[in-house]
Amino acid sequence: MKIIFMGTPEFAVASLAALLNANFNIVGVVTAPDKPAGRGQKINESAVKKFAVENNLKVLQPEKLKNPEFIKELKSLNADLQVVVAFRMLPEIVWNMPKKGTINLHASLLPNYRGAAPINWAIINGEKESGVTTFFLKQEIDTGDILFSDKVTIDEEMTAGDLHDALMEKGAELLVKTVKAIDNNDYQEIPQESFYEENLKHAPKIFKDDCKINWNQDNEIIYNMIRGLSPFPTAFTQFLDKSLKVFKAVKEDVDPGISAGAYLSDGKTYLKFASKNGFISLKEIQQEGKKKMEIEDFLRGIRLD
């Protein structure tokens, strides 16, 4: 079975590696074009491209997925199946091309958390479990018939980064299982409507305004937000007239005795902000224009009046 793999970030690399290790025939890899990044505008290749080149795989990097030259080259590879992991939305002319279809690996237990940021939102919303789902692509995003899914437990301290890594490994295993099932024609397609709950949870793209901490909220809500946005795009607050990113914090469910948004500190070992019903004690932060650091190192370098 000839397979074309489509993906861009590190999350997708584990899946591509797992397919290769399972001896599947990857005839092409489609990933994002190279682009300049950083202060020096050095050309940056996607994680998937780097891995594909290291493993001598054919790489396609179309600017536009409807480009006639790209479509022609894709058809010439004569793939039986296309596999998509953390890539962009495909036009029908692309996803409908292979005879066995196009499957996607999504980092949630569908139909919940459809959208661009399922890992972040699962933790922001205080979920106790998440997972990965494989499904056949169709027109509306993340709505195709489910093939397989697998769960991951979310513990009290897990960040989005931790969950990303857990789902990356679990997803790679599930993808191999799915592709083997398709190869053997041994699978069932389950419409997502079969799983519908009354209020589906969504995972829209996260913007900067979504990352600003509102200290008037419940302690648990703020704590989950910080975990759910760490390490990226990162929750932040204003402190000493500068933006302060918060990567790690601890919640203290006690009566703060001061107004929400006010802070307490000994100037050496702790800095904690009052919420509506407790404290959030900052542990790992990054002040605007500075590097990421532990709170003790940060306090050592500033003056609190």
Closest CA to 22 of 148, 176, 174: 176
CA dist., res. 240 & res. 199, Å (int)? 41
Neighbour tally for 258: CB within 10 Å: 12
Tokens read off for 227: 């975990």
Longest dimension (CA), the chain: 70
Q: What distance in Å separates the CA atoms of residue 123 and residue 121, rounded to the nearest whole number?
A: 5
Query: Is 111 assigned a ligand-binding role in the annotation?
Result: yes
Query: One-letter amino acid identity for 193?
Result: E
Tell me if the bond preceding 233 is cis, omega within 30° of 0: yes
Q: Count Cα neighbours of 144 within 13 Å in the Cβ-side half-sphere.
A: 22
Asked whether residue 109 is marked as a ligand-binding residue, the answer is yes
How many angstroms separate the Cα of 115 from the Cα of each of 28, 89, 110, 204? Answer: 26, 11, 10, 5
Tell whether 163 is in a known binding site.
Answer: no
Q: 279: closest CA among 231, 189, 213? A: 213
62 annotated ligand binder: no
Binding site as annotated, residues: 108-111
Binding site as annotated, residues for (6S)-5,6,7,8-tetrahydrofolate: 108-111
